[in-house]
Amino acid sequence: MNIDYRQLEQHAQNIRRNVIKMAVRAKSAHLGGVLSIVEILTVLYFQILKIDPQAAHDPDRDRLIFSKGHAGLALYAALVERGFAAEEILETFYKDDTMLTAHPTKDCMPGVETTTGSLGHGLPLGTGLAWAAKHDNQPFRTFVLMSDGECDGGSTWESILFAGHHQMDNLIAVVDYNKIQGFGRTAEVLNLEPFVKKWESFNWAVQEVDGHDLAKLQEVLSQVPFQTGKPSVVIAHTIKGKGTSLEDTLDSHYKIPPEYATDLH
């Protein structure tokens, strides 16, 4: 399959431009963790997920559970870029009477599968969806996009243990490992390392990838399941606040990068 990476790069740029526009206009938080997943969402929505914007509720569609709900505007922008809704909807973000709150709600726009916002909920939900698919011999796969911070939580590890035990190879977790969580670096708050070994020891098949490299993301994500009889996890090494002056800072979780502060008002 020939992949037009220039086209893919263009999609990523459009998403990036839109999320920055939205965050700057809304003065909303969490832009850092939005910018760290732009390429991941681009590859998922344009290359990997078997979805059709015209049939957002097709029972056979692949599911994306957007567990890191605080990055909701990335999801909104990606869905618009993929054609699930017209771009105008993004202008309502954070305004009175909008459907688009910071954390997404099920069906707040076409393509939003589930309500998220409290961390540690996505993987259990996704595991249930994947179980139903197996039970009914349905072909769809369930992807769960997670933050590194939510790997602190017990509910996440409950489902990791469960999915590994039950050999749920139709379940794929993608961890946005930008290494900065709500109030510090993951290495300092609660060190996740050795992260790969943890997942492996829970009977998951693991691949690491540069989460900003479209070609490498494409290569890795197109191989799932990595191993028959095991759930797959992609640990995507990313940079919080990617492409801005707040790259790799805790500030990027809360602040608008100063170079945009005067724009668009």
122 within 8 A of 113, measured Cβ to Cβ: no
d(CA 146, CA 66) in angstroms, rounded, equals: 7
Is there binding between residue 110 and other proteins (CB under 8 A)?
A: no
Is there binding between residue 132 and other proteins (CB under 8 A)?
A: yes
Q: Which is nearer to other proteins, 153 or 243 (CB)?
A: 153
Among 53, 83, 110, 128, binds other proteins (CB under 8 A): 128
Is there binding between residue 137 and other proteins (CB under 8 A)?
A: no
Q: The tokens of 68 are what?
A: 């890191």
Contacts of 90-97 with CB under 8 Å at 24 or more apart are 90/18, 90/21, 90/22, 91/25, 93/22, 93/25, 93/26, 93/28, 94/22, 94/25, 94/26, 94/28, 95/26
Is there binding between residue 57 and other proteins (CB under 8 A)?
A: no
Is there binding between residue 72 and other proteins (CB under 8 A)?
A: no
Is there binding between residue 145 and other proteins (CB under 8 A)?
A: no
Is there binding between residue 136 and other proteins (CB under 8 A)?
A: yes
Is there binding between residue 105 and other proteins (CB under 8 A)?
A: yes
- Cα-Cα end-to-end distance for the chain: 44
Q: Which of these segments, 48-56, 114-122, 177-185, 227-235, binds other proteins (CB under 8 A)?
A: 114-122
Q: Which is nearer to other proteins, 23 or 173 (CB)?
A: 173
Is there binding between residue 159 and other proteins (CB under 8 A)?
A: yes
Provide the 3-class DSSP secondary structure of residue 172. Answer: strand
Residue 194: count other Cβ atoms within 10 Å of its Cβ: 10
67 within 8 A of 144, measured Cβ to Cβ: yes
Parallel/antiparallel/unpaired status of strands 142-147 and 171-177: parallel
Nearest approach, Cβ of 181 to other proteins (angstroms)? 19
Among 72, 120, 231, 241, binds other proteins (CB under 8 A): 120
Q: Which is nearer to other proteins, 138 or 249 (CB)?
A: 138
Is there binding between residue 203 and other proteins (CB under 8 A)?
A: no
- Give 10's contacts (C-beta < 8 A, 6+ positions apart): none
Q: Which is nearer to other proteins, 135 or 265 (CB)?
A: 135
Is there binding between residue 113 and other proteins (CB under 8 A)?
A: yes
Residues that bind other proteins (CB under 8 A): 105-106, 113-118, 120-121, 123-133, 135-136, 138, 142, 154-155, 158-159, 161-162
